[in-house]
Structure formats: structure tokens, C-alpha cells
A and B are shown apart, each in its own frame.
Chain A
Amino acid sequence: MTTRRNKENSARDDEQTPTNAGGTAFNSEVRLNVNSKATRQGTDEAASAPQLITPQRKSMVWDFKARGEPFLWLFGGGLCVGIAMIIGFVVLIVYNGILTFYPRPIQVVLLRDGSRLAGEVARAEDFRPGPEVMAKLSEETRKEIAVHEGFARRTLYRIGNFDLYNEDFRWVVDYEISGSTTPEDMFFIERMEWGPFIGTIKSLDLNGKVIEKSSLSMETLDAEQTRGAGRRERIRGIERGEIAAVNHYLEEERLKLKKVGLQFGQKSPPYAEAEKEFKTNSERLELQYRDLAKEVAAIKEKDAQYTIALADVSGREKTLKLSDIVRFYPANKLTFSGKIGVYLSRWWEFLTQEPREANTEGGVMPAIFGTFCMTILMALLVAPFGVIAALYLREYAKQGRLVSLVRICVNNLAGVPSIVYGVFGLGFFAYILGGNIDRLFYPERLPTPTFGTGGLLWASLTLAPALALQRCQSAFSRWLSAQLIPVLRLRGTPGS
């Protein structure tokens, strides 16, 4: 094997050497960064040289056609557009993403009709009021609009308090506003349910001990909110952790029994034995469950005694359990460092928490975790496959029909749309492979699928070859060709 390859290599070298000895030398220079600059500059000079030498008259003469300046500018324009696209896109994403969590002041807007609203400014835009709207406006306003060529400005306020207003955002047109203030006692309160509350804090009820607004300090609020959050976490911990675990074991026991039943039949002695065991175990677990449930109920009862009374901008009151508050801040009183604190804490929540309220609030931790796991699992599966494929193509696969075929296949594998892999993964891995695994190893859980449904493993397995070839082919093999192959070649060539 080795010999054949050597022969081929040398044969090729022989072919190349006489025809482009100079070229090879040139190539090797280009590869080395130090020299290339000089070469390139040389080329530039070479290009302009004839133009510099040619003057036959006193003044300079140009051959515009040979310069092709308009075309050069078009080419360059293409590149500029490409770069502008990418930079614009990244800036757009970063700009929109970065500002999302920054706390904004709360404006209290007094409307002409006497009502008020309080909220963060989401955005503002010019619009053209329709004829029906125009007809209802006062003469003055109409004149004002006419001055601006028929446009009026409106602002979108995030008013929160969905439970009171049934809307989160509201448009307010400039001509409806008679004035606006930013009172310091306005709070932005993020809740577990119903989205944010925007309003003032009236009083605090700590298990019967009522603290009025006047004697309420930020420190007390912070401390009580932290305590409330602690209770919330405790309840959640028991419900999602311990009670869930008990339920899981109970289900496990049930499945164990079912498995014995499926294996030996329901009238066999092993089944009777298993049934007995199931009874004792499930009784024990149910006892545990009752204890836990009692504990939760106790905490909940206590928790309900700690409440906060809030009022919106028009005075409508709302009482809230302290433990329902996720985060609160006096939006108009925040210092810069306070704002940064809120900003960072929101980021932290986004990155480390589970989503709430149908994915509209909370964090994306599960998605990050899933992506991470899949990537790791896939990388493990990918690495050998990708390395072998890349090695094969770069080093071993030089000539021959088979090799061209492999190359075509690799490029096809890399070029097949991911959705086709998705279809394949669902049909083959999840349904056929997973379905059979279920039938063989987890008959007691059917018809609920264990492996016979979409999952991390199948996703990774499906993605593996696609990514192995797409990424490793390009990235890895490029690295390989740049770093490794010249070295290998040098070693492989006799006499060098």
C-alpha cells in the first residue's frame, strides 16, 4: 500500500516539476506570510508600471478600457454590500438584544379626557390618521396634523397590569396627551403570573402586621421579598423535586408489576409475589406523599399571610402574595448602578431559569441545556466519523473511480438539506429503531413510547453524519490541509 502511494506521489511530482518549476517556487512563497506581502506589492507595482512608463506626450495618458475602473468599482461595491450586510445584521441583533432587559423609566401620562396611564415607552412612530378619526378631532388638532403633512405621532406604552386592563400595551397619540410626569414612587413589579404590575405600593401585610407606605423602607421590602421568594422556592422544590420523585417511584413500581405480569401472566406465582411487594412499596410511598403534601400545605398557608397591597395609577388596588413577586424596582428612582443591577439580574434569570407563562417570561435554561447536551453527544459521535472521512479524502483518496464516487457521496451527504435528515431521523431512528427497542425492552410502558419518539439521542444521531461531513469536511480538512499535509508531503517525498 505504502509503496503504491509513494509511487503515485513521485509520479505526480515528476509530471509537475518540468512544467512549472517556477510556479512551485512562487506558490511556496505565497504560502509563507512574510514573503507574500512583498510579492503582492510587487504585483501592484507591475500593474501600474506600464501606465507609468507609457507617456509619449508631456501629460499623462490613460487607457481607460484597460483599467476597467467602472467594473472594479462594481466588484468592490459587491464586496462592500456583502460586508455591510453582515455588519448590519450583527449590529441589528446585538442592538435589539442588548436593550431588551434594560430597565426603562415609567411615565405617568395624563390624557385630555382626564384619565391617566403609567407605563414604559416601547416605541413611537408617525402615522396618518384615517378620515373617521380626523372627523372626531378638534379644529386645533386638525390644523396641527395638517402642518405635519397629515401625520401625527403616537407612542406605544407598555402598561402592564394585564389582570386589570386586559391589555399589555397601549398606543397613545400625542394630541391625546395633556402632560406627563415620572413620579418617584412608581414601581415596576414582575410577578409569577399576569406579567408585570406597574403602580405604587400601598402597604405590606406581614402575617397581620401592617406596614403603611409612609413607614416602608426599601430594605424591608427587599428583605421580605427575598423571604417570600425563599418560600416560593421551597414549595416548588418539594412539589417539583420530592413529590415528583415519589410519583416517579410509584410509576416505576407499577411498571415493574406490569412487566412481571406481561412476562409470566397474571395468575402465576411470581406475579402474586410482585403484587405483594408492589402493595407494601406503594403504601410506603403514598405515606411519604401524604407527609410531603401536608408540609407543602403548611408552607402555603403561612405564605398566604404575607401580602402586599398595590395600586395602579388610577387607584385600583390589587393585593398580591409577596412570594408571587419575582423582581421589583422603583423605575424612576434607580441609579445607574441600580439599573445595571436589574439588567444583570434579568440576564441571569434569562440564562438560568425555566420558562414561565407559556414561554413569554422566565428563562431559556432548558433550551440551552438541550442544545448543549445534543452538541456534546453529537460531537462524540461525530469526531471519529468526521476525522476518518476527512483523512480518507485528504490523504488516501487521490485517484480512482471508487474514490471519486466516495467524494461525490461525501459532498452529497454534506449538501443534503437538514430537513431531509430530519425526516430520515424521525422515520428511521425514532419510529423504526426506537419502536423496536420499545417493543423488545420496554413493553410494559407501551403505548407510551420510551425510545420510539423524538429525543436527544435520535436528534444527535441524525445530526451526526450531516454535521460531521458539513463542518469537519470544511473546517477540519482545511486545517488539516494547511497544517498537516505539507509536513506529511515533505516527509513522504524521497530525498527532501
Chain B
Amino acid sequence: MVNSEAKGPKKTRRWVLIADRIADMVISVGGILVIAAVLGIMIFLVYEVVPLFEGGTVQSHSDYALDVKREPILGLSMDEHKTIAACAMKDATVSAWHARTGALLTAPSFGLKGKTVTAFAQSLDTSNMALGFSDGTVRLGRILFFSEVLPAEAMPAGLKKIDDQDSSDGSSIYSTITGKQIRKTSVKLELEDEIQASETGSPIVALDYRYTEFGERPKKRLAAVDSQGLATVVLVESKLNLFTRKMTSDTVKTRLPAIPEGELISHVLVTGMGDDVYLAQADGKVHRYSMRDFEHPVLAETVGVLPSGVELTVLGFLLGDKSMVVGGSDGSVTIFFLMERKGAASSDGLSLVRTREFKPHNSAVTGFAPSQRGKTFATSDSGGQVWLRHGTSQKTLLRLSSSPDKVSQEAMVIAPQLNGLLAVRSDRRTSYWDIDVPHPEISLHTLFGKVWYEDYPEPTYTWQSAGATDAFEPKVSIVPLIFGTLKGTFYSLLFAIPIALLAAIYTSEFLPYRVRGKVKPVMEVMASLPSVVLGFVAALVLAPVIETWIAAVILVFAVLPLSLILAAYLWQSLPSPVVLRLEGIPKFSLMFVVVAGSMYLAYAAGPIFERLFFAGNFKSWLNGGIGRATPFLFVLIIPAMGLLVSLLAGRIFGYRFTVYLRKIPMPYSALLDFLRWLGIVAATAALSYALAVFLEALGLDPRDGLVGTYVQRNTLIVSFAMGFAVIPIIYTLADDALSAVPDHLRSASLGCGATLWQTAIWIIIPTALSGVFSAVMIGMGRAVGETMIMVMAAGNTPLMDLNVFDGLRALSANIAVEMPEAPKDGSLYRVLFLTGLVLFAMTFVINTVAELVRLHFRKRAMQL
């Protein structure tokens, strides 16, 4: 414990050593805890995000032989709680059974004994169905599942137990559920009067049925094709009389123009809105009829949706009736959208466009079942495989198979809550899966790639997490958010870095020491302003003011540096005794006067500038209605051109001119120097204008990209407000770095005869450069993560354009805006965690780079 070095003239006391050791341990543990904290946060974020990318899981699976007639099954249906399944069969009968085990229930009946169904269609909710018969009639029916929750005492005696949870009395299922209650589920049928769909009384061969309900006004749409190839569309609108509670129905029919002779229709589809009807032939040819005028349907176009030689086996809509799923005998599955297309070969300007292609099945696609929740759907193939996929994310959620002996599925249905799937094979082997697909719509592609959404003319990056209707699909591309963050950061730093760095250099190198002690705390006060106050003031006070004086604000950026330089030239032409006497605080005060004066000048000259450059109204100029592009291009080019011209001037006659100036007595040399500057300014202006005219002639207009329509809460406002948050950080850290440059370097340089300016630019700044860089990086980290300013001042529009005068939505603001709406463990919740993780990663990289650079700088500073 007590070692040789500690044995000095005085022995260290034991308790000091022990305390030291304890402190050592506690503090080291603290250090390790810090690492653990960072890792912990990262791991937690990842833990919340990972489930997004998982497909789905099968919770349980049961296989049983279903003991029903061997009649072909037309359609399957299952109730919301996955208790009872029912199927309609070709002889117009219905069977019902316990979905998990196959225990049969007494079958309800449509009462259509002896009739044979020739065509069948089910609406998306699977309970509404249409039956077509050989006499050309169609009957609409409905399988209704009734569930009621009863107290446990209401359980009747003498039930037959089916499994742990359920028992049956032969016609209903009683399930015990949580909270000591039971749920009774039973099935009932309804049948409506017959509709004569075929005028000639020919058998119906293809049928489609859509059932939509707004309030209590169901709308039923039916498309039927008879064996002669004649298609009829029937619309049944029902109204509920509010007084008598009686339903009255209106039925209207219209006949579609006949398709060319000899073509055989195998599938028919009608949209829920009734705008279009599709008749498809087995060879993949689809005839689309526009029904915008119900009385006079027209054949809008005929397109082939499959390569030749491939048979069309499946045709159906996903939820919303916008995505048409096409399955072929080659196993292919594709989705078509109907959209406006330039040069469409149709009579209404719309055209079917293939937008998605899925991984093909190994054998012919035989079955299709859409989900009532989102764009998930299942397809089955002749090999008996059932694939569950999502239409937008194109993710294959599950691959199920129940048949090692490769018997194809005859019918299948997805449970209404997307938590189960039931498939019946032609040999009546039935499979029931309890599934869990929590986030079908999310994939790396939908998050980061361009996605072609329904009703969009092309693939886009879109963030729109909530919508008004059930059929709405959340669009969660986080690219516009990342773009917004970067845009906001870029413009903010463009504003903040020059001010902060110039101020820091001036404070550390040129400001008299007395003033310095007062200026620094004032700048640091800025850092202590809560960002919510900044955002609030920026959005409510600054934004309207800037909107009114926008031209003046733009003018400030030019007037301020120009008048400062002008003042500098005037200053250096003052006689030297005056200069020496006024050096220090008076000079600094004079700078204030110049800054204030130039702001006033910009304010006063704003309207003139607007008239001269932007045809009198900047905002309407931005909209592109008036004025030319040249003036703004001119303004944009000036900074770069100014730099170029000054550099060139320095190269060509800089040195000689300097030497020459030295030989001339004072007021004249200063005047000459001033004239030189004026020359540079004039040359810059002339060259910039020439270039601007040239660029406009080339067809360049900044209004397409860099600037555009003016929105009140825009990136400019954000960058102003963000300036308050970022400037003090960069300023303080940069000032610290500059001040940390050892004074002996300064002294040596000044001792060699260098001026303060030369010392600053050639000695101090290069030495402190890495520290200054790290200051900028830390400021950038702050800008990236800034939340409240973005929420309040940025307008929160998730757009992707560079326009300074348009709003943006940043990652951080997005979390703040949407988190309260996001249900726990839902897709949005996890996507927001993902945006948090992205934000964390961005700041992690920025801060780590800053720290590494700073460490490097420390090492170097140590050596000086």
C-alpha cells in the first residue's frame, strides 16, 4: 500500500489513501457507467426498432380434416374473433364450423335447395356475397356472425366441449374470455330478392360484388357477365327511412357494350366507387369500361396484363380498390394501378400501369385473398403454398404450407383483424394459422426508398402518417425528414458560422481586454435562452415581420458587409494620430454604428431594391408570375464572383501595388487603396451581371430550385432562430480554442514585426484550426437535434425542395409532433423510434468527429 515514492519527508496518512482509493473506484465506475448509458440508449432504440423489419410469426397452427360435402367451395368467411368459419358451396348451401378444430355446427341455409351456383363473388369483408345462377339471375346474400359478451353465469349447461377455451351447443360457440366473461358467437344467413342480371336469361359465368356503406346507406355494386359475354352492372342503393326504420332500395342496371365476338370472359371486377369495370379473359387481356357516366359506359381500353402464353388465374383488388392484383399460371403476381398517363391509349386519358412485381410462386397461382386491414394479401399456388405479402412494402410476411403432398388450396380467408388465416384444400384438409404480422407495411424500401403509392403519378419519397379514411395507407418514408433536418442545418449554419467565427476571432484577437470580459458573457446569455422561447418568438413575431420586409432582409446580406468594408477604407484614410487615439473601444462602437446604419439603409432601400430587382413584389416574383431571373442570379453570383475577382486582383497586381502604395504619402495611398477596392466591386458587379444574363439565356432560373413560393414559416426564419441557438455555442468554443493558443506564439509573431492581423491570420487561426473545426461540428450537432425551433418556426411540411422560402419538417420536430398520436408498439411508434435512432446516429457521428479532432488539437497544443 505504502510504496517507496510515497515515503517522503511526511508519510501520507492511511485514511487519505483509503479515501483516495474509494474515490478512484467510484469515479471510474462512473466513467464506465457513462459508456454504458450511451450504449444503453442505443441498444434500447435498436430494440424498439428491430421488430419493424421482421415479417410475421405463426403463433399456432392446426390441421384437421373438414367433414363437409365434396361440393366445390366458392368462398370462405371467418368472424372477427376467429371462432367460426363458414363456406358457401356450389349447391347454394352453407357450412359452418369451429375454425380452430373443424367441429361442425348445424348449417344455416339460404333456402335455395336444388339450385346450382354458376358464378360467385364476395365483397372485401367476406360476409357479403353474390350468387349467380344458370337462369341469369343473381341473388345477394350475407353470412352474418353475431357475437355477444355475457357474464360467466349465463353459460348454458350441457355444452359439448370443443377445446380448452370453446364449447358448443351445436349452433353457437361459447368462448371463455378474460374478465370472467363468455362470448357467444353464432352464424346467420340473409338473402335478398333475385335480380335479373342477364337480359337473355343466359347463365352467369363471372361475377363481382362490392359492398360499401356510408352511415346507414349501403351501396351495392354488382357486375355480372353471362355466357354470351354480355356484361351488366347493377347498382342497388338502399336508404333507411329514419321514421319507419324501413329500408327502401333503388336498383338501376346498365349494360356494357359488348366485347368482340368469340372472346370468353373469365373474371370481372368492379370498383367500390363504381368508376370502372374490368372484364378479363383467360389469356390476360383486360377490357376496362369507364362508368363515369353510369347510363353510357364506354370501353376505355383493352390491355394485356400478362405475357402471351400465360393464363390469367387470379384477379382482385386490395383494400381501397386501387391496386389490382394479377396472378398468372406462371406463378407471377403483379399489381396494376389505374392512373392518368400522358399519351394513354384510352378514351379517358387513364391507363393501367404495372407498378409492382412480386417474387413469383414456383407454380401457378390459384387463389387470392385480400385483407380487410391494409394492403396485405395472400396468394396460394397449385403446390399448396400460401404466401402472405404486403402490397406496398412488397414484404413476404409468411410462407405457409399445409400440404406435403402438394394439393392446392381451394379457398382461403384472412381473419378480419389480420391475425389468422384459414385455408381449405380440395381434399378437405383444412389448415388454421394464428398469425402475428405487426408491421406488414414497413420495410427498408418503404422507409428509405421511393415508393409508388396509390393515386401517386410516380414513385416518391412521402411522409404522411395519418389520413382520414380506413383505406388510407400510412406513408412513412423518412427521407424527406432527413432531408428537412439537413436543409435546416445547412441554412442555419450558413447564417451562424460566419457570424460566430468572425465574432470569436475578433473577440479573442482584436478586442481590448476590458471589453472582452463583458462581451463574452453577453454572447453566452444567448445560449441560455430556451429554444422554445426562440421558436415561439421566431414564429409569432419574427415571421410576420420578415414576411413584410423580405426584400430589406435580403438586402442586409449585401449592404452589411459592403458598408463595413467601406467604413474600413474610410477609417484607414484617417490621419494616424486620430486612428491611434480612437483605437479600441471607440472603434468598436463605431462598428456598431456602421452595423446599425447599414440595417437602416437596407430597411429604407428595401422597397427600391424590390422595385428594381423583383418587379416591385418579391413574393409574386418568387411565384414566377412576374419579372426576370437575371437580378436574382446576379445577387447569387456576387459572393463567389467577388472572391474570384479579389483573388485575381491580388494575383495580378497585388504585390506590386502594395509596394507602390508604400511609397506614396498617407492620404493619397489610402485613397488609392480605396479606389482599388471600388474597382474590384465594380468589376465584380459587371462580371456577375454579365454571367447572370448569360445563365438566364441558358434557361437557368433560381425559382425552380433554390428559391420558390414564399411560405410564412420557412427555412429562413428557422435559420435566424437557430442562429440564436448555434451562434453562442460555436462562438464560445471557437473563442476558447483561439484563446488557448499559447501567448508566446503571439508574442513571437508580434516581436518579429507582424501586425495583429498578420498574427491572427497566419499564426493564431492555423494553430487553433482544429479547435475551431470542432466548435463548428458541435454547433452542427446542436442544429441537427434542435426540436422546438423546428416545430414552431419550420411549418412542418415534409417536402423535399431546396427552396429557402419554403418550410421543412425535421426528424426532431417530427417526433415531437407525432409521438403523442402514436399508439404504443404500433408501426408509427416504432418508426418514430427509428427516426430517433437516425438522429442519435447523426449526432453521434458529428460529436465523435468533433471530439476526435479536439483530442488531436489538444495533443498538438500540448507540444507547443
Contacts and interface: CB of A to CB of B under 8 A. Distances in A.
Interface of A: 1-3, 6-7, 16, 19-20, 22-23, 26-27, 30, 36-37, 39-41, 43-44, 46-48, 50-51, 57, 59-87, 89-90, 92-93, 96, 385, 388-389, 391-393, 395-397, 402-424, 426-428, 431, 465, 469, 494
Given A63-B658, A416-B843, A418-B787, A40 B513 contact: yes
Given A2-B6, A77-B561, A78-B499, A67 B786 contact: no
B677 A70 contact: yes
B38 interface: yes
Interface stretch (B402-410, B423-431, B811-819): B811-819
Nearest to B777: A415
A463 to B, nearest CB: 13
Interface stretch (B214-222, B316-324, B831-839): B831-839
Given A81-B595, A420-B41, A423-B819, A43 B750 contact: yes
* Most chain A CB inside 10 Å of its own CB: which residue of B26, B503, B587: B503
B744 A73 contact: no
B569 A69 contact: yes
B591 interface: yes
A47 B579 CA distance: 14
Closest 10 CB pairs of A and B: A417-B785, A78-B502, A68-B757, A75-B506, A79-B503, A73-B568, A388-B30, A23-B744, A415-B847, A59-B665
Contact of A96 (B514, B541, B743): B541
Contacts of A89: 526, 529, 537, 724
Interface in B10-47: 12, 17, 20-21, 24, 26-28, 30-32, 34-35, 37-38, 41, 44-45
B675 interface: no
B54 interface: no
A417 B778 contact: no
A30 B743 contact: yes
A40 B743 CA distance: 10
Contacts of B786: 417
Nearest to B39: A409
Contacts of B778: 415
A433 to B, nearest CB: 11
Contacts of A71: 757, 761
Contacts of B815: 419, 422-423
Given A2-B6, A70-B569, A420 B34 contact: no
Interface in B808-864: 812, 815-816, 819, 824, 832-833, 836, 839-840, 843-844, 846-848, 850-852, 855, 862-864
* Most chain B CB inside 10 Å of its own CB: which residue of A62, A63, A465: A62
A81 B38 contact: no
13 contacts: A50-B753, A60-B576, A60-B665, A74-B502, A77-B560, A77-B564, A402-B31, A405-B35, A406-B32, A413-B37, A417-B786, A419-B836, A427-B44
Contacts of B48: 427
Contacts of B20: 1-2
B513 A80 contact: no
A423 B836 contact: yes
B572 A64 contact: yes
B845 to A, nearest CB: 10
B215 to A, nearest CB: 31
A1 B24 CA distance: 8
A127 B839 CA distance: 44
A252 to B, nearest CB: 23
Nearest to A77: B564
Contacts of A27: 742-743
B781 interface: yes
B782 interface: yes
A417 B843 contact: yes
Interface string B727-742: 1000100000000001
A407 B855 contact: yes
A419 B45 contact: no
* Most chain B CB inside 10 Å of its own CB: which residue of A82, A403, A422: A82
Contact of B503 (A20, A22, A75, A416): A75
Contact of B502 (A77, A83, A85): A77
Interface in B486-523: 498-503, 505-507, 510-514, 519, 522-523
Given A75-B505, A76-B510, A86 B30 contact: no
Given A79-B507, A424-B836, A62 B669 contact: yes
B62 interface: no
A92 B542 CA distance: 10
Contacts of B24: 1, 396
Contacts of B31: 389, 392-393, 396-397, 402-403, 406
Contact of A64 (B37, B661, B754, B781): B661
B489 to A, nearest CB: 12
B456 interface: no
Report whether over half of chain A's contact residues are helix, strand or loop; otherwise say mixed: helix
Contacts of A1: 20-21, 24
A138 B310 CA distance: 79
Contacts of A48: 580, 583
B498 A78 contact: yes
B670 interface: yes
A77 B500 contact: no
Contact of B846 (A70, A90, A391, A415): A415
* Most chain B CB inside 10 Å of its own CB: which residue of A41, A46, A419, A420: A419
* Most chain B CB inside 10 Å of its own CB: which residue of A22, A79, A424: A79
B3 interface: yes
A63 B662 contact: yes
B358 to A, nearest CB: 34
B699 interface: no
* Most chain B CB inside 10 Å of its own CB: which residue of A1, A47, A406: A47
B407 to A, nearest CB: 46
Contacts of B44: 424, 427-428
Contacts of B6: 2-3
A409 B34 contact: yes
B506 A40 contact: no
Interface string B566-582: 01110110011000100
Contact of A59 (B583, B666, B819, B852): B666
Given A59-B666, A419-B812, A406 B510 contact: no
B565 A70 contact: yes
A3 B755 contact: no
A269 B658 CA distance: 106
Interface string B776-797: 0010011011110000000000
B32 to A, nearest CB: 8
A469 B832 CA distance: 25
Contact of A74 (B8, B561, B855): B561
Contacts of B38: 409, 412-413
Contacts of A47: 750, 755-756, 759
B513 A392 contact: no
B354 interface: no
B448 to A, nearest CB: 19
B507 A93 contact: no
Nearest to A96: B541
A85 B785 contact: no
A86 B541 CA distance: 15
A415 B843 contact: yes
A458 B526 CA distance: 29
Contact of A20 (B41, B670, B744): B744
Nearest to B598: A77
Contacts of B529: 89
Nearest to B45: A424
A85 B669 contact: no
Contacts of A30: 743
B435 interface: no
A412 B846 CA distance: 9
Contact of B572 (A69, A411, A427, A431): A69
A425 to B, nearest CB: 10
B776 to A, nearest CB: 13
A36 B564 contact: no
